[in-house]
Amino acid sequence: MKILTVVGARPNFMKAAPIIGAINERNKRVSADFAEDSQYWGRKIEHILVHTGQHYDDFMSGSFFNDLNLPKPDVHLGIGSGSHAVQTAEIMRKFEGVVCAERPDVVVVVGDVNSTLACALVVAKIAFDSAGSRPLIAHVEAGLRSFDMSMPEEINRILTDHVSDLLLVTEESGLQNLQKEGVCRNKIHFVGNTMIDSLLSCKEKAEASTILEDLGLRTHGEANGSGKDIASYGLLTLHRPSNVDNSETFMNILGGLEELEQSCPIIFPVHPRTQRRIRELGIRFHDGKDMRMAGNGEVATGRKTGIVLTNPLGYLDFLCLMKHATIVVTDSGGIQEETTCLGIPCVTVRENTERPVTVERGTNLIAGTSKQVIRQTIQQQLRRNGSSTVPKNWDGQAATRILDILIGTFMSGSLMSSPLDPLLEIDSVAYNLDASQISSEVATKASAIVP
């Protein structure tokens, strides 16, 4: 069995890494359990990692591979930046050749970026033979909807879902959305959230980061000291074109932060898109290094308040900042999920969210982009004393469930209406396994079926 996984942009890496890890762990178990069975060696999963290069610099891509222990991509398409049309078309043009050369059994696409849709479209239209055979398309993070068609990501989500064969859902709203859209039920699987798999596996490792010391946020103690050593601070991320390309909206958001920045520093890792806008608005950088600036854009080194700009951070540095933050203000969907899992108050500066579970059961509030509402919502979150609940299946095992489904679907030769095809008689066995274990019974039955 050959699985090809596509990544292209920063959020994809956290979602794909656990799946690749689950494949590697399974292959190790197969090698150990069937070391003397030469007939079974050919049944290890062959994995191919394709990086489209949609995010291409080290800040936005390279450091994440190291932090998440991702292997070097087998194929790098080197797409780079461009308009939606140019980027999507170029990915499709180059990816088609990869699929024809590799002939995978399953193609896994994750998230909602241009790479996700472009690669799904290629596989949906390709034919390896006169019978029209092609790989299965598995969409990780399916079914999420903001119901805002002005968002490019919403178009990518909807189209990807409707050309995919397996829809792997992170939250219950995804199930409901897909069913309302008439998607066949046997394509849909509620597996959980692989981004949370990454967070849970790296949460303690992130404590080795020195980012708190680098930014002067740890008042005393060792690098892995307790929370009492850490000053109060906010964390800000902005990257959506609707927020940063519109100068009025961008300045409204910054205005909504004025009260917070007067009471504590706000750490702002700046996305390249946002860096360009800040320069256009006349906010100065200091030789490309970390700096502090007051609300009016004047450089003010050594301040204990104000906005602190940094370059984009690696995964572990950012996770360390996020888990110790007093509050997070963001327009990122993934950060809404991560703060919910960590129990950190989050204010989302958008008019909607495709992740309603973060509001219903988590720590997230939607503030929009009104200066006054942002200010009020931040104050509400700073007074927050309620508890949140980690959503169902956000337990660190989503990747294991996904791999079970991919293997079961491929082996059965048809889409499954249950987590694993009942004909395999391994459903109840597989789902009672710990992520680090696999029974010889399951593997033996599987080996008899795999072509």
Hey, which residues are catalytic here?
Answer: 239
Non-local (6+) Cβ contacts of 341 within 8 A are 196, 199, 200, 362, 390, 394
Tokens of 15: 């979602």
Placement of tokens 């043009």 in the chain: 93
Three-state SS at 359: helix
Q: Is 121 left (phi over 0), alpha (psi -120 to 50) or beta?
A: alpha
Question: What is the spatial distance between Cα 318 and Cα 339, in angstroms, rounded to a whole number?
Answer: 12
Q: CA dist 426 to 161, 401, 438, Å?
A: 28, 13, 11
DSSP for 368-423, please give it: TT-HHHHHHHHHHHHT------PPTT-SS-HHHHHHHHHHHHHHHTS--SSSS-GG
In this structure, the number of other CB atoms found within 10 A of the CB of residue 14 comes to 28
For tokens 């033996």, the residue is: 444
- Asked whether 323 and 229 are in contact (CB, 8 A), the reply is no
Of 287, 278, 234, nearest in space to 256 by CA: 234
Host H or E run for residue 50:
strand 46-51
DSSP 130: T
**Nearest C-alpha neighbor of 119 from the set 145, 138, 146, 91:** 91
Q: How many CB atoms lie within 10 A of CB 259?
A: 14
Produce one character per residue of 203-232: b if its CB has 16 or more CB atoms within 10 Å, e if not.
eeebbebebbeebbbbeeeeeeeeeeebee
334-368 in b/e burial notation, b at 16+ Cβ within 10 A? Answer: bbbbbbbbbebbbbbbbeebbbbbbbebbbbbbbb
Read off φ and ψ for residue 3, nearest 5 degrees.
Answer: -115, 130
